[in-house]
Structure 1
Amino acid sequence: MRSTLRKTVLTLTAVAVGIGAGTVATPAQAATQKADAGCVTGKKLLPSCGVLWGGAAGGFTGKPRDLEHRNWEKLSGRTATIFHTYHKGNEPFPTKAEIAMTNESANPRVLLTNWKVEYGTTWAAVARGEQDKRIDAFAARAKAYGKDFFLALNHEPENDVKPRAGSGMEAKDYAAMYRHTIQRLRAKGATNVINVVALMGNEKWMAQSWWKDLYPGDDVVDWIGLDSYSSVEKGYHYGDFATLLDRKAKGKNALGFYDWAVTKHAGKPLMIAEWGAYHQVGRKTDKSAVYNDVVAQLKKRPEIKAIVHFDTKKDDQGNRDISINSSAKSLASFRKLAANPIFNVKLG
């Protein structure tokens, strides 16, 4: 009896302190070890579990993005691990402010930046190599930065398509621009750039014959992104969080955006690169129905690995409020969402 008890104690002790290195853990032990380790990002910033939480604040205000991001974090009650910014053309980035934001050990963050590499020219011109100097300069800055970060090339390209032969801005030109830019960045050694193709998932655009031509190819896409919003007032795009994921062109064989991504491009992680709930400026319509739906939808849709809220009191059209604090009830619901442990993901 004593001998059996001693063996049991020694075995439990060995497991607890890690004695017996090199042995294969049982499935139960492996699950326990994973739970103890927590959710953490790995290759291509993919979380081992959970969902990355992000924010884009200060849009259309002219205020510094870093300051607005910190203010938004305080308002929401959680550090927004993904810090979302926007650049175009020859603007030098990562900027000093972006580097500082992603160097804060007390508030770990990773950069997501949108870049209109073709600014001042066309997608076709970039694909022909006419902006290689611009791409190479960015590659050098990215390598000097050293950390992995997300890059979206010309997010929401549907708005910029000119479906006219020779325009240089056809959907196929976007795909060619994207391929050329990513291939050149890789050739220049900027392997810390994790790219995101950020589309709109708008049923109007998904119905266009050219929409399918936008996708650059799985070999040059790391993450698939979606920029999509829901109205909390009846009318255009009224609905909850699920509705912004499932918009589709009319037709019995059409797929909603999420289903399109996971069916046509299986294995690609999905990022909701911009999302939010909106109502007319000046009103205080409650947004809780959208916020309360988020976690349930994420649990149903395991390929969504990151969500990034876009926050502004007035959008580019000037009439939509996408802020989380347009009413006290909305803010309370959003803070409850932000506190959910599904977003407890550490940067590896």
Structure 2
Amino acid sequence: MKKLISRTGMKEPLKALVSRARQVVLSRSETSAATGRLFFTSGGQFDDEFRALASGQALFPANASRGDRGTNYFLRRAIHRLEKGLIMRPRKPSFAADYILDTVVSLRDSAPTLNQAEQQWAHDVLVEYFGVVEKRGAIAEAAEIFTAVRPQLAVAGSKTPSVPATRAKAQSLPSFDELVSLLQYRKSTRWFKQTTVPRELLAKAINAAALAPTACNRQAYYYWVFDDPTLTQELAKLPMGVSGFGHNIPVLIAVVGRYRAYSHVRDRHLIYIDASLSIMAFVQALETLGLASCTINWPEIPEREKRARDAIPMESDERIIMFIAVGYPDDTGLVPHSPKQPEAVFGRFNLES
């Protein structure tokens, strides 16, 4: 059929017809949600996201009751909500009655699987909370459960408990000009020295990335590091945008989001938002360690999603946010200039048009 279309000179007219039809459907989709759903889902380009999102919704209750990989996303959100209640001005004499019982039950049931830092944080905030609220109804019941579970928690006494406090006084922060210098210095680098990257440096950068803000402190993503040369070269074939330099990547990192952190479909974009905030901190941290990086786009292409799942043993609710190439920069390699937009284009104030 393709050969016939090509021989009869119909290729360009057909392309024009398809383009016009597409524009008509898109125009109608602006005012008709049903038309938009039909147009955008008929090709299956959202299938992997739908499956992962559904899996995350199914896995959320188990994570909230048992935790996994050392964390409990429901508990992290609940403890953060308590923190926000504790810092309110004026602070209510009683708050969180609608979720405090679920919070302490979740802590009790998942404590054996939680990492020590998470247990310490939950313990310290709950001690503070029960010390200031009026204990009536569900709050009183929750206080009794927490009293019973406290001896089972892996916590240590500390002069500085993990509770809300005033901001620390700045000691030796970089100046604005120094920060801008770092941001300007960092360039997307595609040519690396073929030198082993020490894992301790990658761990430092990941720890720095963990300091980035996330919605309700859930941190529903992680950095999957591939530094085996054979594996790295194989996985570098997965993303687009690495043509011509994929063979030169010493370390490839997949940043993976987890939908099980969210009980509501409305939060489905948070894995992308929160992970991206973290990635920005990660790539800047790499520069301070003498390493360079290139963030690699991961577009929504069903065939590549399948290849990625075949190559990387992700869980059913997990999705790749993006890949990052990392290594020591080759001083002889060129980097794009890529000027950025000026403030006049990039920023707006109030109701400016």
TM-score for both structures, normalised by structure 2: 0.27
Flag the structure with more relative contact order, 1 or 2, with Cα contacts below 8 A and sequence separation at least 6: 2
Greater gyration radius: 2
Structure showing the higher helix proportion among its residues? 2
Structure showing the higher strand proportion among its residues? 1
TM-score for both structures, normalised by structure 1: 0.27
